[in-house]
Structure 1
Amino acid sequence: MRARLASILLVFVSASPAWAQDSHTVSPDAIDEATRESEFAALVAKGDRERAAGRLSEAAMSYAAAMKVRRDPVVEGRLGVLMVRDRPAQAAELLHDALKRANTTNAERQAFFNAYEAVRARGAWVDVVISHAGARVTLDGDPRNKAGLSAFSMFVLTGEHELRASLDGHADDARMFRVVPRKDLRIELTLKPRPMFDDGELRLLTREKRSPPAEALKELGHARASDAPTFTKQEDPFGYEDPKPAEKPAEKRWSIGGGPVVVLGVASWMPAVGIVAGGSYRPNEYVSFGLEGRAAWLTTGVGGEPISAMTAGGIASVCGHYRWAFGCAIGHLGVITVQSSGDSFKSRSDTGVMPGIGARLGARFVLARSFALQGAVDLLGLSSGVRVGVEGRVISETPPLMVATSIVGTWEL
Structure 2
Amino acid sequence: MYLRLAWLVLVLLLVPRLARADDGPSSSPSTSSAAVRAARFAELSRKGDKARAAGRLSEAVEAYSDALQIRDDARIRGRLGLIALEGGAIAEAVQHLFLAFIDGHDIPPSERRQIVAAFERARPQVCRLDITVSHLGAEVWIDGELEPASIGRNDFYVFVKPGRHEIRARLSGFKDAVQTVDASKGGRETVPLLVLEPIPPPSSSSSAPPSAPAMPAAAIPPSTTPSKSPNPRSPSPPPRRWTPFVGTTVVYSALSPLPAMGLVASSEWPAGEVVSWRLDVRGAFSPRDESTAVSGALIGVWPGVCGTVRWFSGCLLASGGALHRSRVAPRTPPFSEWYRFGGFGAGGIATVPLGPLKLRIALDAVVLMDAYPLGIGGLRGERTSWSSSQIMAGLSVMAAVR
The interval holding the TM-score normalised by the smaller chain is 0.3 to 0.5
| Normalised TM-score (structure 2) | 0.44
TM-score where L is the length of structure 1: 0.43
Structure of greater Rg: 1
